[in-house]
Chains A and B, each alone.
Chain A
Amino acid sequence: MNDTFRAGGAASLDLAIAAKDYHAGDAPPARALEDLRLTLPAGQAGALVGPSGCGKTTLLRLIAGLDKDFVGTIALPEHGRLGMVFQEPRLLPWRSVHDNIAIAAPQAREEEIAGLVEQLSLAEHAAHFPQELSLGIARRVALARALAIKPDLLLLDEPLVSLDAALARDLREMIARLIDERRITTLIVTHDLREAIALADRIFLLSPRPAHVVATLDVATPRRLMTKETAERLEAQAHAALEAGRR
């Protein structure tokens, strides 16, 4: 039995997943998530960090409503408008950058789309087709598309994966700035602790499969004032918690 509902109030995103099984062919179902609970206050950014294949993306798909086969409850923000940046940008290859944003957000005014295009440094690519873009730019387009719908909850699935170090840094700074400015409740999936510390207010550390939250770390805000020592201490704490989760 599952239930996804939209609720107002302080608890912006509230998950209580009792069980989520993974079915593959004729093999017996494998448990992907078990007794996983987390709460993310409104306007905060959370990061899901865990070992590869632990079920982070599975959890994101449940929240996005792409998979309804689970036992538990998911309470979404009040209007439940979801914006999502998938690991692969998933742009419409036959439409331009501008159209990809506009089609996903038919209510958005032209000035709003132009503003987003400008803010994400996409102006020179607005008329390009997705196959003419590098992965880094395509991710920015996907981010612009997600922001164009004015989401109550923004889901980012490994937004920096497969980018080289300089591009990843640029995009990380861009995401951090947008999250801070817009105060959108955001959930980021990542396997990289430093990325989580740089982007999130709250980090949820997941165990290997079946995944559950082994520890929740609150990151001091504003993040830009965080000292290197604090970041290193957080990282060490998180590593210890993840290690304990593995055992």
Chain B
Amino acid sequence: MIRLLSLAALLLLWQIGAYFSDPRRLPGPLLVFEAIYEEAISGALFFNLAITLARVAAAFALAMSLGAAIGYLMGRNRLADRLLDPWLIALLNLPALVVIVLAYVWAGLTEVAAIGAVALNKLPNAVVVVREGARALDPQLEDMAQVFRFSRAARLKHLVLPQLAPYLAAATRSGLSLVWKIVLIVELLGRSNGVGFEINMAFQLFDMKLLLAYALPFIALMLCVENFLVQPIERHVSRWRRGVARPRDRG
């Protein structure tokens, strides 16, 4: 209820701001919703949202799977950590724009370059978070698994992944918000479709109505992903934490 009220207050503020501004600079909510409707009816909105979402999904999956594997290796193997740490620091400090431009220069204005550049921007963040998780794996449980001769698959499933789950969830959350922002820049700089491309077109034409008509549904879509996908998964994997604290010994 409070969230809805807050959202209504935002719409009201927007409407008031639009009332006192040039509609070309800040169109009101109704004008923007009208533009959203028109883009939706023409099919362009869904097409561009789907293209962008597919890029977000591909780049995110690539960055998370590679980042989790490298992070785990660095967290568990001192030599790998020492070897790869300088690369990681370099990547962490490399501006996203440099990676994107280099990818387009070296690999051309292609889908592979676009997704690769986004994944490379997200990769170090995933590596750092998962490395911390791998370092924090409980050695006592490792001993238990060794004594009971857990197979590799059983160790991964029952020991490693549940302990890494909070770290993977944190990397997912921060990663998704980072990836979708970078995807828009990648589309703006070198793709001929997607929400970023449409926002760039709207900017070139100074069409604020169209710009917001693409930005708002995309924000709404990412909020849905967070609320209906990321959070339920996170709740599911951490449901055991909600158990009561250990009771006093009573037999």
- Nearest A-chain residue to B143, judged by Cβ: A66
Interface size on A, residues (CB 8 A): 34
- Are A136 and B251 interface neighbours, CB within 8 A? yes
Interface centre among B140, B143, B245 (most CB of A within 10 A): B143
A86 CB contacts on chain B under 8 angstroms: 140, 143-144
A128-160 near B? 1/0 per residue, CB < 8 Å: 110111111100000001000100000000000
- Are B147 and A84 interface neighbours, CB within 8 A? yes
- Are B147 and A92 interface neighbours, CB within 8 A? no
Contact (A167, B244) CB under 8 Å given A64-B147, A66-B143, A86-B140: no
- Are B143 and A135 interface neighbours, CB within 8 A? no
Query: Shortest Cβ distance from A19 into chain B, in angstroms?
Result: 22
- Are B243 and A129 interface neighbours, CB within 8 A? yes
Question: A163 vs B144: C-alpha distance in the bound complex, in angstroms?
Answer: 22
B158 CB contacts on chain A under 8 angstroms: 92, 95, 103
B240 at the interface (CB under 8 A from A): yes
Interface centre among B154, B240, B249, B250 (most CB of A within 10 A): B249
- Nearest B-chain residue to A95, judged by Cβ: B158
A133 CB contacts on chain B under 8 angstroms: 246-247
- Are A66 and B146 interface neighbours, CB within 8 A? yes
- Are B154 and A103 interface neighbours, CB within 8 A? yes
Query: Shortest Cβ distance from A167 into chain B, in angstroms?
Result: 6
B106 at the interface (CB under 8 A from A): no
- Are B141 and A164 interface neighbours, CB within 8 A? no
Question: A128 vs B246: C-alpha distance in the bound complex, in angstroms?
Answer: 11
A82 at the interface (CB under 8 A from B): yes
Interface centre among A93, A94, A106, A133 (most CB of B within 10 A): A94
B228 CB contacts on chain A under 8 angstroms: none
- Are A166 and B146 interface neighbours, CB within 8 A? no
Query: Shortest Cβ distance from A171 into chain B, in angstroms?
Result: 10
- Are A104 and B148 interface neighbours, CB within 8 A? yes
- Are B250 and A134 interface neighbours, CB within 8 A? yes
B162 CB contacts on chain A under 8 angstroms: 92, 94
A83 CB contacts on chain B under 8 angstroms: 147-148
Interface centre among A95, A105, A134, A167 (most CB of B within 10 A): A134
- By DSSP majority rule, is chain A's interface helix, strand, loop, or mixed? loop
- Are A134 and B244 interface neighbours, CB within 8 A? no
Q: What is the count of residue pairs linking A and B with beta-carbon distances less than 8 angstroms?
A: 72
- Are B243 and A132 interface neighbours, CB within 8 A? yes
B159 at the interface (CB under 8 A from A): yes
Query: Shortest Cβ distance from B165 into chain A, in angstroms?
Result: 8
A149 CB contacts on chain B under 8 angstroms: 148
Query: Shortest Cβ distance from A83 into chain B, in angstroms?
Result: 8
**Partner pick for A93 among B143, B148, B150, B240, CB 8 A cutoff:** B240
- Nearest A-chain residue to B146, judged by Cβ: A66
- Are B246 and A131 interface neighbours, CB within 8 A? yes
Query: Shortest Cβ distance from B139 into chain A, in angstroms?
Result: 10
Query: Shortest Cβ distance from A152 into chain B, in angstroms?
Result: 13
**Partner pick for B144 among A90, A95, A105, A131, CB 8 A cutoff:** A90
- Are B141 and A167 interface neighbours, CB within 8 A? no
A61 CB contacts on chain B under 8 angstroms: 143
Which B residues fall within an 8 A CB radius of A?
140-141, 143-144, 146-148, 150, 154, 158-159, 162, 240, 243-251
Q: 26 A-B residue contacts at CB 8 Å?
A: A61-B143, A64-B143, A84-B144, A84-B147, A86-B143, A90-B140, A90-B144, A92-B158, A92-B159, A92-B162, A94-B162, A95-B158, A103-B150, A103-B158, A131-B240, A133-B246, A134-B247, A134-B250, A135-B249, A136-B251, A145-B148, A149-B148, A163-B249, A164-B249, A167-B251, A170-B251
Task: Supply 9 further A-B pairs (C-beta < 8 A) apart from A83-B147, A84-B148, A133-B246.
Answer: A66-B143, A82-B147, A88-B140, A90-B143, A90-B144, A95-B158, A104-B150, A134-B250, A134-B251
